[in-house]
Structure formats: C-alpha cells, structure tokens
Structure 1
Amino acid sequence: MPGTLPVPLEIELPQGWQSAPPEEVGAPHAAFVALHMASRGQGFVPNITVTGHRLDGSSSLHGLAEESVRRLRENVGAVEVVKRTEVGTSPAPGLIDAPGIVQNLRIQATVNGQPMELAQSQFLLVLQSERQRGERAEIEIALTARTSQLQDVLTDFQSFISTLRPASPSSEG
C-alpha cells in the first residue's frame, strides 16, 4: 500500500509525465510517483516521488536533509551531497510559503543489475498543520534521473514544485 501525506496537497503534472502506482515502480513508501514517459527504454526512467510524514519534536531542516541522505545510503548506495540550499520563502509563485531545503545529490546505484550514476534533486519542506496547532509534517519531493538526463527534466521538476499548494477543503474528499 502506498504511503500517505500527513498534509493534503494539490499538484499538477507537467506535460509528458504520468502518475504511476508507487508499489509497482519500486517506491512503496511514496504517496505519489510520476514517470517521464519520453525516457522509457533508456535504461532508467526519470521520476518524481512525493513522500511525507509527521514530525516529532523539533527536527531541524538540516537534520531532515541528513536523514534523507542517510536513508539513501542505506537503501541505494554511495551518496554525495553536491549542494544544499535553505529556502525560507516561496521560490516560485503559488508555492506553499514554508521553510525548506533544496539539496542536489549524486548517487551511485545499481539499477537492473547495472551500475549507474544518478542525480537527485530534493525539495524538503516543513509544514505546520492548520487543524492541529503544534503539529508539523515533512514533505519530500525528489526528482531522480541519470546525470545525463537531468538537464532534460529539471525544468519540469521546477514547474511541478511551483504548482504545489495546500489542498482546498472541497478537494480533500
């Protein structure tokens, strides 16, 4: 069963991307996965994953970023942090105004039995619950692609992030 987000969000997929069942594409803990369909058959399909969980205590943004890197090292392989930037206000119009971190990673992974260098751009943000004062949630949105594919899909990822907003009460069902 796929993961769920602790805070309902609305997002729009850029053209050329298609949502996929997380458990069928090897991301069982993700709440949402999108695949770049034009890249099928190239050995690796760039993907966007969205995960989230409630935060306990006073987790710092840098602590959350380090934890994400630790999980990748544990589950995938060698990870190098290329760049990490704190963002405090909306990097794009319409985006949730929340503290966050953007980190760019280089990952040495084995995909279908083949060694592969992947690039991952993560956007981690911490949201306050509007319903439960004091409750906080971490949302992680990650773009993963071969390093040679990254420039082809990075603008789409930025566009995807720019559409992120809290779900309106009528769309929460």
Structure 2
Amino acid sequence: MATQLPVRIEFRLPDGWQAAPPDEVGAPGVAFVALHPASCATEGGFTANITIAGQVRDPALTMLALADESVRRLEQNAGTVHVRSRTELGSPEAPGLTQALDILATVRGEALPLVQTQVLVSMTDVDDPTKRVVLELVLTCTAEQLDAVIGDFQEFVRTVRPAEAEAGRS
C-alpha cells in the first residue's frame, strides 16, 4: 500500500518521466513513483524509475546507520546488494547521504542486475526539533540505462524542497 510522506514537499519531474500510482506499479511503501517509459525499450524491458519515501526518524540515528538500514531492507526484498559508493553531505543541522548500489534482483522470474542511486535527505521539524524526517529519493535502473537517466535524477533531486505554506496558514 502506498504511503504518505510525513512532510509536504514539492519537486519537478524532468521531461520524459511520468508519475504512476505506487500500488499499480508494484512499489508498495513509497509515496511517489515516476517512470521513464523510453527506457523500457532497452535492457530486458526494465523501466527506469524514481521513487520517494520518507518517515519520521530518531534524530540520534546517523545517516550511515540509515543507509545501512536501507541496504538491509533491499537485501530482504530484492536480493543481493553491493554498496558501490557512499558519500555523506550536508551539515550537522541538515545531514544527507548518497549511495550507489548494485542489486541482483529477480524481475519477472529472472535475475536482473540493477543499479540504484539513493539520496537520503534529513529535514528537522521547524516546530519540534526533536522530530526529524528522512526522505529517500531513489533512482533504479539497469547499468545500461544509467548514463541516460542519471542526469534527470540529479536534476529532479535539485528541485525537491519543503512545500510552501498554504495561504492563510503559518
């Protein structure tokens, strides 16, 4: 079942990407999915995709611990996972992390090597600094698709931000 994010965000999808209902495309537990239909014509018919998930997390958890948790979740759900690279970013007040993963997943009954680029973004609640939300922005594609879609993903990540307050609300 698709989930809602604990914070409102806004973003812009690059050209060529289309939003899709998470439950209908087999992505339960995420709040948003975008598909890149043109990529489906390559490498076994896998469609490159971007997902957004997020939840309230203990502020004491490090970004490395959260990244390790993400890898363990993938291993349980998708199969073999290898961490290709990991980079911490941001500041102590707004930490973040990117990681590139190689995944050997079973797709339509066949083993398919995939690449996943994850960006973990931490946001502290402005009204309650003891609450922290961590967003997971994720690109999943085949190695052959990566060069064609990584620039779009980077462009997408740059547009993600907290949503503007609605008129009349503070």
Which of 121, 126, 144 is residue 140 of structure 2 equivalent to? 144
Aligned residues of 2:59 and 2:130 also touching (Cα < 8 A): no
Matched residue of 1:149: which SS?
A: helix
2:120 corresponds, among 118, 124, 127, to 124
Q: Aligned equivalents of 1:46 and 1:34: distance in 2?
A: 9
> How far does residue 57 in structure 1 lie from its aligned partner after superposition?
5.2
Q: CA deviation at 1:151?
A: 0.8
Q: Which residue of 1 aligns with 2:99?
A: 103
Match of 1:48 in 2: 50
* Cα deviation digits, residues 82-134 of structure 1 (max 9, x gap): 00001115xxxxxxx83100000000011111111000000001110113231
CA distance in 2, matches of 1:158, 1:6: 23
The one-letter code of the counterpart of 1:167 is: A
In the other structure, the counterpart of 1:3 is 3
Which runs of structure 1 show a deviation greater than 4 angstroms over 4 or more consecutive aligned residues?
A: none
Q: Which amino acid aligns with 1:151?
A: D
Number of the residue aligned with 2:77: 75
**Counterpart residue identity of residue 24, structure 1:** E
RMSD of aligned alpha carbons: 1.6
Q: Distance in 1 between matches of 2:147 and 2:3?
A: 29
Match of 2:157 among 154, 158, 161: 161
Cross-structure match for 1:62: 64
- 1:30 matched to 2:30? The reply is yes
CA displacement at 1:79 relative to structure 2: 0.2
* Structure-1-length-normalised TM-score: 0.91
**Aligned residue pairs, count:** 165
Against the structure 1 CA distance between its residues 155 and 76, is the aligned structure 2 distance closer, same or farther, given a 3 Å change threshold?
A: same
Q: What is the CA-CA distance between 1:41 and the residue it aligns to?
A: 4.2
Query: Partners of 1:22 and 1:132 in 2: how far apart?
Result: 30
Amino acid at match of 1:162: R
Paired-residue identity, %: 47
Cα distance in 2, alignment partners of residues 21 and 9 from structure 1: 17
2: CA distance between counterparts of 1:26 and 1:9?
23
Q: TM-score by structure 2 length?
A: 0.92
- Unaligned residue ranges in structure 1 (runs of 5+): 90-96
Q: Does 1:87 align with 2:89?
A: yes
SS in 2 for 1:33: strand
